[in-house]
Structure 1
C-alpha cells in the first residue's frame, strides 16, 4: 500500500463524540495515501475524528468497524467529510482500490464498495453540516478545525496552517 506514514490514532473516550454508538479515534499524525497510478494523493490531517468503517449495528458480525480495511475506511471517511461536489463516486472508487491494496478479499471488498455506493449519499451530502464536528484535540477533547472550511481541501489541497508534522 502506498502510504507515506503509518496511521497513528488515539481512542476517544468521550461518549458525546461517538458516532451513532460507534467509538471514534483521533488521527494524531498527517496521513497520506497515493493511488497506485500516482495520479492522486489523499492526505488526512491530524485532529481528524473517524469511526473507521461506519458499519450498521446489524451487520457488524459480518464486517467489523476495525480490521484489515481500517486504513481504507479512514481515507473514505475523510473524502466524505470533505464532500467535494461531483466526486463521491471517485471517493468510493479510491476506497475500493485501497481495500484491494490492503488485501481485503474480493467478496468483502465488493460488499463494502456496494454498501457505500448504496448507502453513502446522505453522509456525503451532509459534509458541510458535519465539518466542525469532525475534528478534536485528543488531549482536551475540545473541537479543533484545521481550516475554516472543507472547501480549502478541495482538489487535494493542503491549506496553509494545517500541521504537516506530529502534534
Structure 2
C-alpha cells in the first residue's frame, strides 16, 4: 500500500515523520505517569513497539504518526496520529503532548491539521478518538474538535470512551 509521509504545516507547527532522534523524549513520555491514559507506563520494549508501530503504519495503511514541532524553535512538543490495526477497531485520531507544552493549543492545532488531511487528502469518511474516561483534557479536546460520544462504536478497551469525528 505504501505512502509518502506528508509534512503538514500550521501557523505555529510542523507535523513531520519521526526520526530516531525523537526516541529519547518519546521513551521518557511513555515511561512516565503521563502515559497512564494510553495503557502505560511502558517498559522499553513496549515503548519501542509503539514508536516503531507509529512509523510502520504509513506503508501498511497510508497513515500513521507525525511528530509535532514548534515552527519558531524546532522543538518537538509531542505527536499526533491516525492509527489503525489490531489495537484500533476504527481509524483513530490520537494525540499526546510532552510535559510543559500543554495549554498552548498545540494539540488542537495539530489534530485539526491531521484530521483535515485525513478527510481531504486520504478520503476518510470518519475518525474516532479512543479516550480513557479519566482523561479530562483529551475529552475536552475531542469536544473542541467537534467530536461527539458514540456509545455504540467498537473498542478494544471496554472502558474507553469513543468520540466520533464526522466528516466535514
Identify whether the pair has TM-score above 0.5, normalized to the shorter chain: no
TM-score bracket for the superposition, by shorter chain length = 0.3 to 0.5
Bigger relative CO (Cα 8 Å, ≥ 6 apart): 1
Structure with more strand by fraction: 2
Structure with more helix by fraction: 1
Q: TM-score, normalised by structure 1?
A: 0.33
